[in-house]
Amino acid sequence: MAAAEFYNTGPRPGSGPNDDDDDYDRHNTHSPISSISNSASPVHKPLPSQPSFPPTHAATGYTDDFFGRHHSTQSIDTAYHQPAGPSHSGSYSPHDPYGKSTEAYHDNIPLNDTRPAQNSSQNLAAVEGGGHVGSKGKKGKFSLLKSSKGGRRPWFCYLMAVIQISVFIAELARNAVLTKTPIAIKPQFNPMIGPSVHVLINMGARFVPCMKTIEGITDNPITTYPCPDTTVADTTKEGCTLAKWCGFGGANIPSDLGGTAPKGGEPDQWYRFITPIFLHAGLIHIAFNMLFQLKLGTDMEREIGHLRFAVVYFAAGIFGFVFGGNFAPNGQPST
**pLDDT tens-digit series, residues 311-325:** 999 999 999 999 999
Answer yes or no: are the C-beta atoms of 66 and 48 closer than 8 Å: no
Burial (Cβ within 10 Å: 0-12, 13-18, ≥19) of residue 193:
middle
Instruction: Return the number of other C-beta atoms located less than 10 Å from residue 25's C-beta.
Output: 20
Asked if residue 7 has pLDDT above 60, the reply is no
Asked if residue 42 has a cis previous peptide bond (ω within 30° of 0), the answer is no
CA separation, residue 149 to residues 141, 142, 152, 153, 271 (Å):
15, 13, 7, 11, 36
Answer yes or no: are the C-beta atoms of 57 and 81 closer than 8 Å: no
Q: Which of 41-55, 161-175, 180-194 has the lowest mean pLDDT?
A: 41-55
What is the mean predicted confidence (pLDDT) over 90-116? 52
Asked if residue 221 has pLDDT above 60, the reply is yes
Asked if residue 207 has pLDDT above 80, the reply is yes
Which segments of the chain does DSSP mark as H helices, in order? 2-7, 32-38, 121-128, 155-179, 197-202, 242-246, 283-292, 298-304, 306-327
What confidence category does residue 204 fall into, taking pLDDT thresholds of 50, 70 and 90?
Answer: very high
Say what the pTM is.
Answer: 0.56
Asked if residue 226 has pLDDT above 60, the reply is yes
The helix or strand, by DSSP H or E, that contains position 63, with its residue range, turns out to be strand 62-63
Answer yes or no: are the C-beta atoms of 221 and 264 closer than 8 Å: no
- Residue with more model confidence, 203 or 112: 203
pLDDT for the residue numbered 29: 45
Distance CA 211, CA 246 (A): 9
Asked if residue 129 has pLDDT above 70, the reply is no
What confidence category does residue 251 fall into, taking pLDDT thresholds of 50, 70 and 90?
Answer: very high
Burial (Cβ within 10 Å: 0-12, 13-18, ≥19) of residue 155:
exposed
Asked if residue 120 has pLDDT above 70, the reply is no
Answer yes or no: are the C-beta atoms of 294 and 162 closer than 8 Å: no
Asked if residue 166 has pLDDT above 60, the reply is yes
> Is the Cα torsion angle 68, 73, 78, 82 positive or negative in sign?
positive
Q: Helix, strand or coil for residue 70?
A: strand
Distance CA 167, CA 170 (A): 5
What is the mean predicted confidence (pLDDT) over 287-311? 95
Distance CA 282, CA 167 (A): 11
